[in-house]
């Protein structure tokens, strides 16, 4: 992959993303035990004042360092994720965990070029774990290379998933777990899709799936898994993109087995998601 444009201060895109993650992470960590202002965007879908403060910081730095690039954030929205260079951020992934005082939370920063993710950072400020990757250069956790699981059968597999915001997607996902459960080693529902994908990239869980995610949920995780030697597909088995319909992340063997075992289930039915 060709070198990415440097920032106005002469830094690489990955350097900028990691620095922003550290700065925004301080906000999340400092406010974790404080009372947050909570409002609802939909059923079960909340936002806190920390989400907005974190995203404002991210956007201000990115506007200064890369004024000619697009921006898409969970709270402020913005540009399409598949048109030119676009920074994509999730200021607090796992907001419901964060608001409840459950320490499973992270923040996400990614850079896409025409929809292809080229830089991804997922930072857990409470454990001080920074997962990061640049296209073609491997995936890392705090400076050390990470790899997806090498397990090949579900009997020894730890599966992770997260629950959609209401609707049939949640029930379909639970049906998948129920179908697979007799042959699984363990199941984890984390409450943070970004961490679920990062854990798959690091081999902490063997497979992660979700009914449907937004670009900011998956922008870093998709790149991390691929750079860690895994694959990320949609519910039909095609390589996933930022606007894909469903997501399965694992090594090739487990991904194929997941798709085989879920063939014909409601979870596999296309959602006709508009892009």
Instruction: Quick: pLDDT tens for 9-31.
Output: 999 999 999 999 999 999 999 99
> Does the pLDDT value for residue 2 go beyond 80?
no
Whether the per-residue pLDDT at 208 is higher than 60: the answer is yes
Question: What angle, rounded to 10 degrees, do the helices at 13-31 and 49-65 form?
Answer: 160
Together in a domain, 122 and 20 = yes
The tokens 């969970």 sit on which residue?
A: 74
**101 and 222 together in one domain:** no
For 186-205, what is the mean pLDDT?
97
Are 128 and 229 part of one and the same domain?
Answer: no
166 and 260: one domain?
Answer: yes
Q: Does the pLDDT at position 239 exceed 60?
A: yes
* Within a domain: 25: yes
Q: What's the whole-number mean pLDDT along residues 262-275?
A: 82
Query: Does 162 share its domain with 261?
Result: yes
Higher pLDDT, 273 or 270: 270
User: For residue 112, what are the β-bridge partners?
Assistant: 86, 117
Angle between helices 193-201 and 215-227 (to 10 degrees): 0
275 has pLDDT over 60:
no
Q: Are 172 and 111 members of one domain?
A: no
Of the two residues 178 and 78, the one the predictor is more confident about is: 178
> Got the DSSP string for 185-242?
SEEEE-S-HHHHHHHHHTTSSSEEEES---HHHHHHHHHHHHHTT-EEE-TTSSBP-T
Residue reference for tokens 């956007």: 59
**Which of 117, 145, 173 lies at the terminal end of a domain, its last residue?**
145
**Same domain as 103, residue 176:** no
130/173 same-domain check: no
Angle at 236 between CA 193 and CA 247, to 5 degrees: 5
Whether residue 118 is found in the same domain as residue 204: no
Q: For residue 273, is it within any domain?
A: no
Query: Is residue 107 a contact partner of residue 98, using CB atoms and an 8 Å limit?
Result: no
Residue 160 placed within a domain: yes
One domain, residues 106 and 204: no
- Residue where a domain terminates, one of 93, 111, 145: 145
Q: In this predicted structure, what is the pLDDT of residue 204?
A: 98
What pLDDT is stored for residue 166 in this prediction? 64
pLDDT band at 80, cuts 50/70/90? Answer: confident
Residue 242 lies in a domain: yes
Would residue 3 count as lying in a domain? no
Find the mean pLDDT for residues 255-268: 96
In a domain, 33, yes or no: yes
Instruction: Say if residues 122 and 221 touch (Cβ distance below 8 Å).
Output: yes
> Do 129 and 20 fall into the same domain?
yes
Q: Is 272 exposed, middle or buried (0-12, 13-18, 19+ CB in 10 A)?
A: exposed
Min mean pLDDT across 36-40, 69-73, 156-160 is at: 36-40
Structural domain ending residue among the three candidates 118, 145, 172:
145
Residue 182's domain comprises 154-268
Residue 20 within a domain: yes
CB 48 within 8 A of CB 41: no
Tens-digit pLDDT profile for residues 107-128: 999 999 999 999 999 999 999 9
Domain count, the chain: 2
Between CA 32 and CA 240 the distance in angstroms is: 33
Do 262 and 220 contact (CB within 8 A), yes or no? no
Residue 274 has pLDDT above 50, yes or no: no
CATH number at residue 202: 3.40.190.80
What is the 8-class DSSP label of residue 11?
-
Domain membership flag for residue 5: no
3-class secondary-structure state, position 160:
strand
Asked if 190 and 140 sit in the same domain, the reply is: no
């Amino acid at each position: 992959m060709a070198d990415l444009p440097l920032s106005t201060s002469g830094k690489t895109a990955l350097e900028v993303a990691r620095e922003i993650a550290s700065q925004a992470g301080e906000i999340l960590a400092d406010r974790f035990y404080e009372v947050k202002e909570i409002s609802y965007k939909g059923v079960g879908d909340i936002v806190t004042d920390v989400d907005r403060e974190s995203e404002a910081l991210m956007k201000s730095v990115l506007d200064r360092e890369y004024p000619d690039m697009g921006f898409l954030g969970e709270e402020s929205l913005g540009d399409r994720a598949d048109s030119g260079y676009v920074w994509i951020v999730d200021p607090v992934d796992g907001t419901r965990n964060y608001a409840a005082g459950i320490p499973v939370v992270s923040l996400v920063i990614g850079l896409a070029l025409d929809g292809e993710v080229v830089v991804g950072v997922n930072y857990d400020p409470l454990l001080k774990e920074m997962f990061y990757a640049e296209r073609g250069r491997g995936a890392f956790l705090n400076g050390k290379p990470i790899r997806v699981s090498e397990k090949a059968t579900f009997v020894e597999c730890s599966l992770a998933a997260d629950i959609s915001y209401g609707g049939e997607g949640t029930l379909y996902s639970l049906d998948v777990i129920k179908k697979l459960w007799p042959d699984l080693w363990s199941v984890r529902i984390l409450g943070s899709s970004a961490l679920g994908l990062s854990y798959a990239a690091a081999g902490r869980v063997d497979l992660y799936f979700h009914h449907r995610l937004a670009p900011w949920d998956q922008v870093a995780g998709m790149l991390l898994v691929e750079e860690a030697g895994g694959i990320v597909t949609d519910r039909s088995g095609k390589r996933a993109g930022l606007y894909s319909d469903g997501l399965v992340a694992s090594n090739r063997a487990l991904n194929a087995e997941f798709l085989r075992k879920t063939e014909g289930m409601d979870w596999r039915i296309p959602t006709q998601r508009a892009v």
